[in-house]
């Protein structure tokens, strides 16, 4: 037993570790809250349809902010910590693309008017940040307390890799959502929208609008995706501050990313294979770090994980775009008499 505990502890020693003072946590949360408030009350104060150009610009800004925070980590604790932050950020950002496509299904199912979609996704992101924080701290505590936790997370990631690569996920169907059924039984609801309000009054009674049901579905699906993304980040970083900040900054840009790629699922036809490869890689990495800790620590630095993830994502996107262009040329040739 002592040998197993030593192995589990040793496998985490390869990651950056440092003390974080309470005021530094407060500063991080304050920065995230400020960004959310500015986005909600200044940039998107009035409901409107988000154009692709606007979404692309905002996505670029959010990505710049997310990657830019790595400079803070770099100046604070050096290359190792910054590398882990960027790796975690890229993992979360890439896995979130699948989440975005699920959002598209949910918003289409409930026929949410385009001008109200941003607001409900805003509250979805806010809830996701709170939920992810709980998952992260619980996951790190689990690893610290249970010697075989790395094995559990590694196996979960390998299963998730197969599930994502071969579309083994069940179809998103709100009518079959247990959480949504419970909410509708407990909270009186209406089928009519009232602007971008989550609750309204009907016959002097407060009832939930369909946007509240959408919010419940968004939060429920995020819990499912967190089962994949949190163990994946735990495989490339060990410090809670790095894990949470990389996760948070990736999540903050999901709304803009949604308006960019929600209708482009077919163009990224090989994305599921790429995400499967990434999850399988980090799952195998987590298992190897447990069973072959000494060899793994000496032969597989953090930058190698970053390179693998970037290469897999790049190849996946390029192959998808190439296949899309090939099909377009074939369709064009078929239309020529």
Let me know if 168 is exposed, middle or buried by CB neighbors in 10 A (0-12, 13-18, 19+).
exposed
User: Has residue 336 been placed in a domain?
Assistant: no
In a domain, 265, yes or no: yes
Contacts of 131 (CB under 8 A, 6+ apart): 219, 222, 223, 226
pLDDT recorded at residue 6 = 43
Is residue 337 one of the residues assigned to a domain? no
- 258 secondary structure, DSSP code: H
Q: CA of 53: how far to CAs of 50, 59, 60, 105, 257, in Å?
A: 8, 10, 11, 22, 11
Q: pLDDT, tens digit, for every residue of 68-91? A: 999 999 999 888 899 899 988 988
Count of domains observed in the chain: 1
Query: Where are the alpha helices (H) located in the chain, listed in sequence order?
Result: 2-12, 22-38, 52-109, 114-145, 149-165, 178-186, 210-234, 240-252, 254-261, 271-291, 293-299, 302-335
**Would 241 be classed as within a structural domain?**
yes
Residue 146, pLDDT above cutoff 50: yes
Q: Phi/psi at 207 (nearest 5 deg)? A: -130, 160
Domain that holds residue 145: 2-331
- The answer to whether residue 176 sits within a structural domain is yes
How far apart are alpha carbons 226 and 275 in whole angstroms? Answer: 14
Residue 51 forms part of a structural domain? yes
Mean pLDDT over residues 226-239, rounded? 80
**DSSP codes of every residue in 209-227:** -HHHHHHHHHHHHHHHHHH
The structure tokens listed for 258 are 């949604």
On whether residue 283 sits in a domain, the answer given is: yes
Tens digit of pLDDT for each residue in 147-156?
777 788 888 8
Q: Which residues contact 28 (CB under 8 A, 6 or more apart)?
A: 241, 244, 245, 248
Q: Choose the most confident range, by mean pLDDT, from 8-22, 144-158, 204-218.
A: 204-218
Structure tokens at 201: 């009054």
36 CB-contact burial (10 Å; exposed 0-12 / middle 13-18 / buried 19+): middle
């Amino acid at each position: 037993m002592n040998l197993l505990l030593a192995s589990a502890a040793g496998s985490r020693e390869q990651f950056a570790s440092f003390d974080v003072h309470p005021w530094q946590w407060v500063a991080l949360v304050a920065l995230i809250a400020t960004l959310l408030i500015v986005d909600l009350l200044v940039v998107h104060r009035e409901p409107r349809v988000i154009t692709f150009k606007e979404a692309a610009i905002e996505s670029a800004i959010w990505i710049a902010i997310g990657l830019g925070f790595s400079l803070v980590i770099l100046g604070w604790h050096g290359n190792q910590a910054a590398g882990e932050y960027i790796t975690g950020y890229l993992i979360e950002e890439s896995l979130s693309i699948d989440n975005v496509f699920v959002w598209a299904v949910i918003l289409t199912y409930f026929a949410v008017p385009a001008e109200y979609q941003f607001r409900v996704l805003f509250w979805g992101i806010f809830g996701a940040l709170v939920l992810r924080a709980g998952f992260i701290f619980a996951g790190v505590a689990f690893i610290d307390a249970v010697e075989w936790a790395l094995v559990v997370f590694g196996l979960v990631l390998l299963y998730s890799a197969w599930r994502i690569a071969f579309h083994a996920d069940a179809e998103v169907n709100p009518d079959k959502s247990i959480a949504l059924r419970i909410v509708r039984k407990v909270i009186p609801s209406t089928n009519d929208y009232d602007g971008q309000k989550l609750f309204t009054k009907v016959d002097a009674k407060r009832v939930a609008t369909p946007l509240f049901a959408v919010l419940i579905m968004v939060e429920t699906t995020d819990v499912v995706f967190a089962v994949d993304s949190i163990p994946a980040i735990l495989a490339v970083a060990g410090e809670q501050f790095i894990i949470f900040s990389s996760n948070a900054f990736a999540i903050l840009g999901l709304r803009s990313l949604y308006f960019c790629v929600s209708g482009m699922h077919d163009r990224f036809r090989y994305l599921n294979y790429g995400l499967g490869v990434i999850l399988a890689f980090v799952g195998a990495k987590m298992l190897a770090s447990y069973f072959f800790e000494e060899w793994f620590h000496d032969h597989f630095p953090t930058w190698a994980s970053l390179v693998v993830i970037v290469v897999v994502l790049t190849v996946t996107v390029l192959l998808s775009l190439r296949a899309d262009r090939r099909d377009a040329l074939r369709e064009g040739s078929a239309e020529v008499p």
